[in-house]
A and B are shown apart, each in its own frame.
Chain A
Amino acid sequence: MAEEGTREPIIELVDVWKIYQMGEVQVKALRGLSLNIYPHEFVAVMGPSGSGKSTLMNMIGCLDVPTKGKVYLENRDISQLHESDLAQIRGQIIGFVFQTFNLMPGLTALENVMLPMTFQGTDRRDREKRGRNLLTLVGLGERMNHKPTELSGGQQQRVAIARALANDPDVILADEPTGNLDSKTGKEVMDMLTQLHEEEGKTIVMVTHDQRLSTYVERIIQIMDGKTTESLNHNRGGIEDDEI
């Protein structure tokens, strides 16, 4: 945190509001939220259900734009961008890992990993080579041609992680990445994210309500009623096997 004064944030939210109109009722999901996330950080966004975690993730992930306020990604204001530009940013700068894996059921593991590169127009041979490398990296070298339904939950999430890395993004957004996994597989996934953060220097933003995962991250952003309360994490070190 001491460095933060001298570093440029990779993600910056300034007084962000998100208001949904539900019939006659206005729901304020984010209420003037501001935060900075710096390059190579591993951050957890935590908060109770309905606190605005997912809305915050959507803003950071360029999946949605704020009603009011500014969202900067690598110093670029994305709050006014057109959908095709947002798609470009999502494809190049951000890798998503979802709670429910969200793999394409009709495609094989390898094709799923190749998909983000397809949308970036990467040459087929390069795509295939990188897809194979990434699946080998996540330990699925032997299951490249399996469809998602032929893979376990943990394996599917590993395919999703490989897919998130496809275009070598700077930021990985993980939305409850262990939410649908048993604790042993969940730990494997968290170890993989930690490895990506430490060895590849990826900025990882993880949304979770699982307090045990806080031990993996450097910083916790608590969110409550659409506003943040940040805290440093002093318990970092991961979950020991005997805690599972």
Chain B
Amino acid sequence: MIADFFTISMRDIWCKGIRSWLTMIGIFMGIAAIVSLMSLGEGLQNAMDEQFELLGYNIIYVMPGSSLVSMGTGTAKLDDYDLKIIKKIRGVELAGGLITKLAKVKFKDETAYILVSGVDPGSTQEILFDGTGIEILKGQKKFSESDRYKAFVGYELWAGNVFDKPVGVGDRITVNDKRFHVVGEISRIGNSQDDLSVYIPQETIKDIFGVEDDYMMIMARAKPSYDPEDVAEDIKKALRKDRGLDEGDEDFQVQTMKQMKDSVGIVLDGVQAVVIGIAFISLFVGGLGIMNTMYTSVLEKTQEIGVMKAVGAKNSDILTLFMIESGTIGLVGGVIGCLIGAGLSKTVEYIAVVELDQTLIKASITPELILGALAFSFIVGCISGVLPARQASQLKPVDALRYE
């Protein structure tokens, strides 16, 4: 019987033509927004997770400054003394510093301003290239102690996205007017900031910029049997103690990948919640549209309702018919919304990859998302139809038949 009711309802929706489509607009706009935003949000989250995974969960990052925003801009510094303290902590297997400076990089006749990092051929290099998924694809695998004016280049450089021509192994570049020999190409990390970088030996960067031990970041690798969170906490305590600071007054940041992931996740969730909230308002308006259409439908079909009751339809049958109709409007709106939403997010992904060369933005269209969106649109349709359907079902047959 439900199948027959469904057929009757579909006929009604079809007969209404343009009115049915207009009613659905509200629903499919909302669903399209939800599907596209959630798929992009989920995709971004997944890409971030991959990034964090790539960089390694057992690595702890210590940075100067009391917050990520003030990182490197304040007076607080991390130097060799801090590095020594960190190295002494139980649970730290290796620790090394990274000096990063913005430098004028020249290739052939072109100039670009790029972050250049000085890598200590010992610990820093090992943490960077052994403990993470970052590797040297071409050229020599590591800097040796004796290397001075040699450089590894990031993906953006060797892919040819910075200068007219790709900068590859064997090429020569200048960093702050000093000539360097490119000896390695670093694998793609996935975010443009990390991919747009040049690595040189630490001693060389100290010479060029006239700095000694002004670390942008100290990286520590936790021993396998230790929880990186606990080790991070120990580092925090040790540095705090050494600097005579109270908890909360730190002029440095200690973060594990998990914490970074969580804090990025919180931001992402917040953004997603706001945007999805707006999409829900659109769905609510869409639901009101369905309700309006269904009330009109009840008025238009009053006599038909009378006839159906005269030939034996019970109140519950009329209620079911109208609920199926409104639910179907919602569901069809949902199907169109899913298609538009999926199309939108895939377009954004395509633009991100092709136009912006950004692999972090990925649309993650999962069956759960689509099924959830469809179920939700059907429920919105049904809820919107409850009141009109009730009104229709409670019409007295004699009044309904007489209605003109």
Which chain A residues have a beta carbon within 8 Å of chain B's beta carbons?
A: 58, 61, 63-64, 83-84, 87-88, 90-92, 96, 98, 102-107, 115-116, 118-121, 124, 163, 166-167
Contact = CB atoms under 8 A, between A and B. Distances in A.
A91 B311 CA distance: 5
Nearest to B402: A54
B162 interface: no
A102 B307 contact: yes
Given A63-B401, A124-B4, A92 B312 contact: yes
22 contacts: A63-B309, A63-B310, A83-B315, A87-B309, A88-B312, A88-B314, A90-B311, A90-B397, A91-B311, A91-B312, A98-B307, A98-B401, A102-B303, A104-B8, A106-B12, A107-B8, A107-B11, A116-B311, A119-B311, A119-B312, A119-B314, A124-B4
A115 B315 contact: no
Given A64-B396, A87-B314, A102-B401, A121 B308 contact: no
B398 A115 contact: no
Given A83-B315, A84-B315, A119 B308 contact: yes
Contacts of A107: 8, 11
B309 A118 contact: no
Contacts, number: 73
A139 B11 CA distance: 26
Nearest to A92: B312
Given A84-B316, A87-B314, 11 more contacts: A63-B309, A90-B397, A92-B312, A102-B303, A104-B307, A106-B12, A116-B312, A118-B5, A119-B308, A119-B312, A119-B317
A207 B310 CA distance: 16
A55 to B, nearest CB: 9
A156 B27 CA distance: 38
Interface string B383-404: 0000000000000111001000
Interface residues of B, number: 25
Contacts of B401: 63, 98, 102
Residue from A96, A102, A124, A163 whose CB has the most chain B CB atoms within 10 Å: A102
B102 interface: no
A96 B313 CA distance: 13
Contacts of B8: 104, 106-107
B313 A119 contact: yes
Interface in B1-46: 1, 4-5, 8, 11-12, 15
B214 interface: no
A115 B311 CA distance: 8
A102 B301 CA distance: 11
Contact of A118 (B1, B11, B304): B1
Contacts of B307: 98, 102-104
Nearest to B10: A106
Nearest to B13: A106
Given A58-B398, A63-B397, A90 B316 contact: no
A130 B23 CA distance: 38
Contact of A87 (B11, B15, B313): B313
Among B307, B308, B396, max chain A CB count under 10 A is at: B307
Interface in B281-336: 303-304, 306-317
B307 to A, nearest CB: 5
B312 A90 contact: yes
B1 A90 contact: no
A96 B12 contact: no
B312 A120 contact: yes
- The 6 A-B pairs at the shortest CB distance, nearest first, are namely A91-B312, A116-B311, A119-B312, A64-B398, A106-B11, A87-B314
A61 B312 CA distance: 11
Of A63, A91, A115, A166, chain B has the most CB atoms within 10 Å of the CB of: A63
Most chain B CB atoms below 10 A, which of A88, A91, A119 = A119
Given A102-B303, A102-B307, A124-B4, A87 B12 contact: no
Contacts of A116: 311-312
Nearest to A93: B312
A87 B312 contact: yes
Contacts of B316: 84
Given A84-B315, A92-B312, A163-B311, A118 B397 contact: no
Contact of A104 (B1, B304, B315): B304
Interface in B264-294: none
A121 B314 CA distance: 12
Contacts of B313: 87, 91, 119
Contacts of A121: 1
Nearest to A55: B398
Given A87-B315, A106-B11, A107-B11, A96 B398 contact: no
| Among A88, A98, A118, residue most surrounded by chain B Cβ atoms (within 10 Å) | A118
A218 B309 CA distance: 30
Contacts of A87: 309, 312-315, 317
Contacts of A84: 314-316
Contact of A115 (B12, B303, B308): B308
Given A64-B396, A124-B4, A167 B11 contact: no
Contacts of B5: 118
Contacts of A167: 312
Interface in B345-404: 396-398, 401
A106 to B, nearest CB: 4
A74 to B, nearest CB: 16
B311 A106 contact: no
Nearest to B312: A91
B315 A96 contact: no
